[in-house]
Amino acid sequence: MKRKARASRQPALGVRNPGPAVLIYDTTLRDGSQGEGVSMSVEDKLDIARQLDDLGVAWIEGGWPGSNPKDVAFFEQGRRIRLRRAKLAAFGSTRRAGIAASADSNLRALVAAKTPTVTIFGKSWDLHVTDALRTTLDENLRMIADSVKYLKAHCGQVVYDAEHFFDGYRANPGYALQTLEAAAGAGADWLVLCDTNGGSLPDFVHAAAALVAGRFNLPVGIHTHNDAGMAAANSIEAVRAGATMVQGTMNGLGERCGNADLTAVIPVVELKLGRRCLPAGNLPKITAVSRYVCEITNQNLRDNQPFVGRSAFAHKGGVHVSAVQRNALTYEHVRPEAVGNARRVLVSELSGRSNVLALAGGRYDLDRNPEKMKEILDRVRELENEGYQFESAEASFDLVVRKAMGDWRPFFRLHGFRVFADLSHGGSGMVEASIQLEVDGRREHTAAEGNGPVNALDGALRKALLPFYPQLAEVELVDYKVRVINAKAATAARVRVTIESSDRHERWRTVGVHENIIQASFRALVDSIEYKLLRERDRSRRTGQRKA
């Protein structure tokens, strides 16, 4: 008899009388674009803005219109897109020393952007005033006040970012507070405290933010950087101290070590502090938006990223999996569904019966078949010893189980393949692959060109199989990764190839290992195709059963 997983109740994570909502000011398009290796076209920025609006952030900072033509173009086009919830914000600095605000080209560009909100930063640290701006402390105060007053006369909402506030408050608290008074007195709508160098600690941020929130009759925001790994913690502490705006970026993109990661801050504020950040029901969208931003900015999502990473709710150790099967609270601090993620069970040499049962038990009653269970575990350990890794190749593991259970048959028989590359001077650079295989006694010999050996092999294999299995036309190769296993063997090293494929139903990953990278790739390709055909067979069986 199969064991039933006991229903788990997630504890109430909010607190009584949690306080007002915390508004999210997203600066992925401006501060995030300053991260190393991050580049976004105008269309990229518009697409991300739509995603952020759908998520439900309160502001989207689009860029600095006075700094480059791309941001000017973004604001021109941004005015024409319909945002349902978010306000666009343009970003810039206070006026230059010694000139009138009305004569400052940066401030005029902010007005010309015609956004509902404008955000300017000013210096809060006396060191920056004297050494970076090379002006007097009094002139800096006038620069802040004049800029805010000018923008309030020509724009709607003005957010004042107190750059380097925490460093300034640590060095000269009286002057740092004077800069806030200058902005508040000139009509700023928000005072945002910035940990620009990212070196402050949570207890200091909490104390300083609490003092500002109690002293000024204006809402307070927080803007942190992650140079000490404290950006999310500092943002949370500022919220606990009274801040009601959090500035940050999706996935923590940003200059140097990045900004506060909103994919961590938002779930903590909503699920742990019980404060609303997004419209009701929108928090589960955050994983999809996180991955969308990764895709558009050509960044790799960290598997171990809190809440949204692939490994955030992944369980590998057999003891952990066994406990989670009984009650998810044993090893999960929140439900993965709450943030739009999913639980994953991994298989490796560390796995026990619980891992295999979790992945395969729904189809096969392995509890009653201990010999098969042992066979599967032994096979996994044997393959992992050769360099295979099934943690990110669930489809290849599925084939291991099916073969052990006798629920597999070869859809074709390979007779051989060849790969030829013309890399001579003046050659096309294209690669040709030819393949010979047999399906139900019928022999096929096909060839295809590609921009690399794997692409050519994939084309030749599909070309040979499509007449027999037309459903393979749906399959696309989404990702391809190569990892050297025993690097000390140099060019004779064994390599592991992982392929991600997709069709109109799902995505799946397969793995192949060999000293020859082409052979390893081909093994992963064959697994991918066999998995697709087996899933189609499963669907046909289910359809037939329903009709019967």
Q: What is the CATH classification number for the domain harbouring 187?
A: 3.20.20.70
Which amino acid appears at position 153 of this protein? A
- Residues 280 and 326 reside in one and the same domain: no
- Residues 443 and 368 reside in one and the same domain: no
When divided into structural domains, the chain yields a total of 3
CATH number at residue 463: 3.30.160.270
Instruction: Tell me whether strands 476-484 and 442-450 are parallel, antiparallel or unpaired.
Output: unpaired
CA–CA distance from 463 to each of 210, 438, 451, 452, 470 (Å)? 67, 13, 16, 16, 10
- Residues 132 and 238 reside in one and the same domain: yes
SS3 category, 166: helix
**218 contacts 195 by C-beta, under 8 angstroms:** no
Instruction: Tell me whether strands 507-514 and 220-224 are parallel, antiparallel or unpaired.
Output: unpaired
Which amino acid appears at position 437 of this protein? L
Rounded distance between C-alpha atoms, residue 355 and residue 347, angstroms: 6
Instruction: Tell me whether strands 507-514 and 344-345 are parallel, antiparallel or unpaired.
Output: unpaired
Residue 377 lies in a domain: yes
pTM of the model: 0.72
Residue 180 lies in a domain: yes
- Residues 423 and 480 reside in one and the same domain: yes
Which amino acid appears at position 334 of this protein? V
318 Cβ contact partners less than 8 Å away, ≥ 6 residues apart: 350, 351, 352, 353, 354, 355
Residue located via tokens 């970076």: 132
Write the pLDDT tens digit of every residue in 88-102: 999 999 999 999 999
Residue located via tokens 């107190």: 162
CA–CA distance from 430 to each of 280, 321, 452, 463 (Å)? 53, 47, 7, 18
SS3 category, 190: strand
- Residues 196 and 322 reside in one and the same domain: no
Q: Write out the residue range of the structural domain in which residue 353 sits.
A: 314-386
Return per-residue pLDDT of the chain as tens, 548 residues. 333 434 344 444 445 557 789 999 999 999 999 999 898 999 999 999 999 999 999 999 999 997 788 899 999 999 888 899 999 999 999 999 999 999 999 999 999 999 999 999 999 999 999 999 999 999 999 999 999 999 999 999 999 999 999 999 999 999 999 999 999 999 999 999 999 999 999 999 999 999 999 999 999 999 999 999 999 999 999 999 999 999 999 999 999 999 999 999 999 999 999 999 999 999 999 999 998 998 888 887 788 999 998 778 776 655 555 565 566 677 678 988 999 987 766 555 455 555 566 556 566 776 677 788 788 778 877 887 888 877 678 888 888 888 888 888 889 999 999 998 877 656 566 789 999 999 999 999 999 998 888 889 999 999 999 999 999 999 988 888 888 877 666 656 788 999 998 887 788 989 999 998 899 999 999 999 999 999 888 887 776 655 55
Rounded distance between C-alpha atoms, residue 366 and residue 74, angstroms: 57
- Residues 41 and 163 reside in one and the same domain: yes
Rounded distance between C-alpha atoms, residue 217 and residue 272, angstroms: 27
Which tokens is 546 given?
């329903």
Which tokens is 81 given?
């897109």
Residue 178 lies in a domain: yes
**487 contacts 509 by C-beta, under 8 angstroms:** no
- Residues 228 and 318 reside in one and the same domain: no
Across 372-423, the runs of DSSP E, i.e. the strands, are: 413-421
Among 232, 236, 230, residue whose Cα is nearest residue 249: 232
Rounded distance between C-alpha atoms, residue 238 and residue 254, angstroms: 20
Write the pLDDT tens digit of every residue in 162-181: 999 999 999 999 999 999 99
Instruction: Tell me whether strands 413-421 and 344-345 are parallel, antiparallel or unpaired.
Output: unpaired
- Residues 159 and 126 reside in one and the same domain: yes
Write the pLDDT tens digit of every residue in 287-299: 999 989 988 888 8
Residue located via tokens 């915390």: 22
Rounded distance between C-alpha atoms, residue 263 and residue 248, angstroms: 9
- Residues 278 and 367 reside in one and the same domain: no
H-helix segments, 412-516: 453-465
Which tokens is 347 given?
């298989």
